[in-house]
Amino acid sequence: MKNKTLLIISREYLTRIQKKSFIIITILMPVLLVAMIVLPALLMVMSEKKQFSNVLVVDESEIFINNFVDNDHYAFTYQSGDIEQIKKEAFEQDYDVVLQILPNTQSLKANIFYKKNLPSGLQSTVENQMDDIFFNQLLRDSLHVEPAKFDQLKQLTKAEAVTIQIDDKGSEKEHDASVNQLFGMGCGLVIYFIIIMFASQVLRGVLEEKTNRIVEVLISSVKPMQLLIGKIVGIALVGLTQLVIWIVLSTAILGGIQLLAPTLFSTESVETLAETPGVNVPDTSSLTTAPSNIFEMIQNYFSVSFVTIILCFFFYFIVGYLIYSTLYAATGSVVDNESDSQQYTMPITLPLLLAIIFLPSISTNPDGTLAFWLSLIPLTSPIAMMIRLPSGVPAWELALSMGLALGFLVFSIWFSAKVYRIGILNYGNKPSWKTIFRWLRE
Closest CA to 115 of 140, 98, 134: 98
Q: 215 or 270, which is more confident?
A: 215
Distance CA 98, CA 55 (A): 6
* pLDDT tens per residue, range 199-208: 888 888 888 7
User: Which residue has better confidence, 214 or 137?
Assistant: 137
The pLDDT of residue 297: 53
- Segment 186-237, tens digit of pLDDT: 888 888 888 888 888 888 888 877 777 777 677 777 777 777 788 888 888 8
pLDDT over threshold 80, residue 260 = no
CA distance 154 to 145: 13
pLDDT at 144: 84
What average pLDDT does the structure give for the chain? Answer: 78
Residue 44 has a pLDDT of 59
pLDDT of residue 134 exceeding 50: yes
Phi then psi for residue 68, to 5 deg, are -70, 145
pLDDT class for 177, splitting at 50, 70, 90? low
Across 328-346, average pLDDT: 78
Average pLDDT over residues 33-57: 68
* Main-chain dihedrals φ then ψ at residue 59, nearest 5 degrees: -100, 100
Contact in structure between 384 and 374 (CB atoms under 8 Å): yes
Instruction: Output the pTM of the full model.
Output: 0.62
- Position 281 scores a pLDDT of 43
- Compare 162 and 191 and report the one with higher pLDDT: 191
Q: Is pLDDT of 276 > 50?
A: no
- Average pLDDT for 272-287: 44
Average pLDDT over residues 48-57: 73
Q: Give the residue among 307, 358, 29 at the shortest CA–CA distance from 190.
A: 29
Over residues 298-332, the pLDDT tens digits come to: 555 555 667 788 888 889 988 998 899 888 888 88
